[in-house]
Structure 1
Amino acid sequence: MPATPAPAAPSTADEWPLPDDWTPEARDVFLGVLDERPDLAGAELSSLSQAAALVSSADRLDEAARAAGYVSTGSMGQPVVHPASVESRLARTAAATILARLAASGPASRTAKARGAARTRWSGQ
């Protein structure tokens, strides 16, 4: 039985089937990175998808915190920062970390590293 080839990845960012539950900001992040890094595949593409999902979660958590006036009631009845506000910040931090890793491993970064290695090699160090 012949092997069925895997479907080809969409050729442009606009052709990607994005999850319906992603917020507009998450979609912009995903498509923006794909525009800059069309070479993404495998683990890097999965990381980008995870970062976009985190952005979407952060957006929804922001909405919940905003609806509550960013304040909640603590265990002793005192006003505290709404937990959704804290979780939103954590989700955005995690997304930013993933996106920074993707930017650092991009083609321009590899070229810069290769250029630096060549300089070192030819300078006799």
Structure 2
Amino acid sequence: MYAIADLVQYFGWRVVVIFVDDDYGKNMISVLDDALTKNRAKISYKAAFAPGTSISDINRLLVEVNLMESRVFVVHVNLDSGLTIFSSAKSLGMMNIGYVWIATDWLPSLLDPSATNNPD
């Protein structure tokens, strides 16, 4: 979260955080908030959704955050909802030039096959 905060501060971005409303998501928000405060920055909007939220509700959430001033989104969710968010964002035209998407640890774990197949 501190690396994300440094990136946000460096570019002077205002960010919208999209997160799952459970302990996993809330803990991240707390750490990111602390890191941004240390850099004299802040989250402009927190968009939470419940675990198991439907695709139509995720679409509504994305339409809502797309109306915000910021086009920089930090996504901290579980694997299934993360893929749904990115798929919905693409269909809504939110993956075009002018948008920035920062995914936390769920995306690298999907992209690194050794992370899931490691017998150790």
| TM-score bucket (shorter structure) | under 0.3
More strand by share: 2
The answer to which structure, 1 or 2, has the higher relative contact order (CA under 8 A, 6+ apart) is: 2
Give 1 or 2 for the bigger CA radius of gyration: 1
- Structure that is richer in helix per residue: 1
